[in-house]
Amino acid sequence: MISEKALNAILMSLLFCVPLWAWVSDEPFTITLATRAVIFALAAVGLNVALGLGGLVSLGHAVFFGIGGYAMGILAFHAQTYSPLMEWPFTISGTKLMPVIWLMAILFSGAAAFIIGLLSLRTTGVYFIMITLAFGQMFFFFAISWPAYGGEDGLSIYIRNSFPGMNTLDPIQFFGICFAILSLVLWLNVRLVKSPFGLALNAARQSSERVEAVGLDPFRLRLIALVISGMICGLAGALFADLNRFVSPTMFSWQMSGELIVFIVLGGLGRTFGPVAGATLFVVLEHALGGIGEYFLFFLGLLLLVVVLFARGGLYGIITGRADR
Amino acid sequence: MMRPVLQVEGLTRRFGALIANDDVTLDLRPREVHAVIGPNGAGKSTLIAQICGGLKSDAGSIRLLGQDITHETTKNRARLGLGRTFQISSLASEDTVLQNAMLGALGAKSRPWQFFLPVLGDKNLRDHAENALRRVDLIDFADKRTGELSHGQRRQLEVAVALTLEPKVFILDEPMAGLSAEGTQLLTDLLRDLRNQAPILLVEHDMDVVFKLADRITVLDYGRVIATGSVEDIRKNPIVQRAYLGENL
């Protein structure tokens, strides 16, 4: 049995070294796989703020992932077609600059999380799950029926967006950007868990009435948690769209939301690095078992069943030997 | 007579046709321990929920230091000075003892909107929390997970969290429930000390404790106040004896 900290270090080194090795031995596809894992991990880390720390089981986090994706898609689409995003009252043109795209992805997904939170956080338990699911479906069908940006077919972006001083078309460099962002967000997340806000949110998950009795507002704590969570998912969505150079309504699908939950449960609920382990395992399995087609999902379901029934702490629980937090 | 700290007037609560509390009036004076007793289902828990904000009242008013708090939220009532403990312990059981006390301190200073610096590094808050733990003799268990505490220790921690709020009034919901004789003694001594800080509204089943601690007693039965008075008055009161049929007062 090894400690949680050691496992975090091993996990992050693996995630960093495997693509490096793939780069040396010229296997770009492995780098792309690793980038996919990193981006999924980022999204799941985002959801984990709401789910793991705040206890908010949201089945609608694909909304933020999708908004991030479409923020990238729309901005890049207008840049590549040289058409302005809007002309009145002032002209806004598209952009291919990643930092600007990220900022927009974060702002819009944060705003969406705020509005969705205002409405959905009045409910708890299964009603909360249903409301978030409903929001997810609304965005999904909106994206499908919005012809300006590809509708059902989605939007293709011909060239990956740029980051000053780097060649993002080089898989290892794009991986580096994604890995750096994931590391930064994880570090901020560790700080968040230990911060006053983290303490209060964590307590609100365990006992709402206690938090109220000390004069704090659980609703407001959860709302802020949802906004932070949505922003991280939005950023991940923008990166995911850039990885594929393609955005489609499937980013908004409820399956996507479900997968994010699966990453967290596989990795270990309530661990900061758990989602990283879960997302990585998922991508590895997806690749290894992908050859058997649809059956992949059958085996994933089986694995999930085993984890939930026999290894409640997920991968982290199995390896560190502690069932939960 | 000193002005009461907490005034409850005509408080009523119905659940459909059932009247849980009917026109309950009582007050809490500075430095006093005012016990509320009554058989099971008498409306004690409903009364606490009405005073602390979990339940809305159908009629009546609640005043804290002269200020009407009848329509305030639970959160605001806590901020204005109601420090309560729960009958069914509602601490964050996955967190450490110190973290639970820190939560109270955080609420008292209403400073949860800080996202980056570690909360345990905030010396002000930490001193505040540790002082409360010292008061209830839990400082040696500060790093223990709350879920691993004994039942009695959890009761002590409940009181510590209320202490961090520096409340104007303590509202204690059956603090002795399930305690051993030794634990009861410990907590009784603690409450005797606590009253110097703020008056205590004590809902309690344990008559020995009530008679030891209380200055005044209010007896509820079927949601009505059937008697209020000193310990002696209540002991002798025939109506009370009838309500507690079989119990030796």
Mean pLDDT in residue range B226-238: 91
Let me know if residue A287 belongs to a domain: no
The Cα of B69 is separated from the nearest Cα of chain A by a number of Å equal to 14
Per residue in B33-42, pLDDT tens?
A: 999 998 888 8
Q: How confident is the model at residue A136 (pLDDT cuts 50, 70, 90)?
A: very high
Residues of A contacting chain B (CB within 8 angstroms): 188, 191-192, 194-200, 202-203, 206-207, 209-217, 221, 224, 228, 325
Lowest mean per-residue pLDDT among A160-164, A229-233, A266-270, B171-175: A266-270
Tell me the CATH number of domain B6-81+167-243, given options 3.40.50.1970, 3.20.20.450, 3.40.50.300, 3.40.50.10490.
3.40.50.300
Let me know if residue A272 belongs to a domain: no
Per residue in B115-152, pLDDT tens?
A: 999 999 999 999 999 999 999 999 999 999 999 999 99
**C-alpha dihedral sign at A277, A281, A282, A287:** positive
The Cα of A77 is separated from the nearest Cα of chain B by a number of Å equal to 36
Q: Does B106 touch chain A (CB under 8 A)?
A: yes
- pLDDT number for residue A324: 53
The Cα of B162 is separated from the nearest Cα of chain A by a number of Å equal to 8
Let me know if residue A277 belongs to a domain: no
Let me know if residue A103 belongs to a domain: yes
What is the extent of the structural domain holding A194? 31-252
Let me know if residue A233 belongs to a domain: yes
Mean pLDDT in residue range A27-47: 97
Reduced 3-state DSSP string for chain B: CCCCCEEEEEEEEEECCEEEEEEEEEEECCCCEEEEECCCCCCHHHHHHHHHCCCCCCEEEEEECCEECCCCCHHHHHHHCEEEECCCCCCCCCCEHHHHHHHHHHHHCCCCCCCCCCHHHCHHHHHHHHHHHHHCCCHHHCCCEHHHCCHHHHHHHHHHHHHHCCCCEEEEECCCCCCCHHHHHHHHHHHHHHCCCCCEEEECCCHHHHHHHCCEEEEEECCEEEEEEEHHHHHHCHHHHHHCCCCCC
Let me know if residue A312 belongs to a domain: no
Residue B102 has pLDDT above 80, yes or no: yes
Residue A291 has pLDDT above 90, yes or no: no
**CA separation for the pair A57, A51 (Å, rounded):** 5
CB neighbourhood size of B79 (10 A): 18
Per the CB < 8 Å rule, is A210 touching B93? no
Residue B27 has pLDDT above 80, yes or no: yes
Per the CB < 8 Å rule, is B116 touching A200? no
- pLDDT number for residue B247: 59
Per the CB < 8 Å rule, is B117 touching A191? yes
Number of domain units in chain A: 1
- pLDDT number for residue B240: 84
Q: Mean pLDDT in chain B?
A: 92
Q: How confident is the model at residue A298 (pLDDT cuts 50, 70, 90)?
A: confident
Mean pLDDT in residue range B146-159: 94
Lowest mean per-residue pLDDT among A82-91, A130-139, A270-279, B181-190: A82-91
Lowest mean per-residue pLDDT among A60-64, A235-239, B48-52, B105-109: B105-109
Closest CA to A183 of A272, A84, A310, A293: A272
Per the CB < 8 Å rule, is B113 touching A188? no
Mean pLDDT in residue range A164-168: 95
- pLDDT number for residue B246: 57
Residue B249 has pLDDT above 70, yes or no: no
Per the CB < 8 Å rule, is A207 touching B118? no
Report the chain B residue with the minimal C-alpha distance to residue A194.
B118
User: Which of B78, B112, B164 is closest, CB to CB, to A200?
Assistant: B112
Query: In chain B, what percentage of residues exceed pLDDT 70?
Result: 98
Per residue in A106-125, pLDDT tens?
A: 999 999 999 999 999 999 99
Q: Mean pLDDT in chain A?
A: 94
Report the chain A residue with the minimal C-alpha distance to residue B100.
A203
What is the predicted ipTM?
0.92
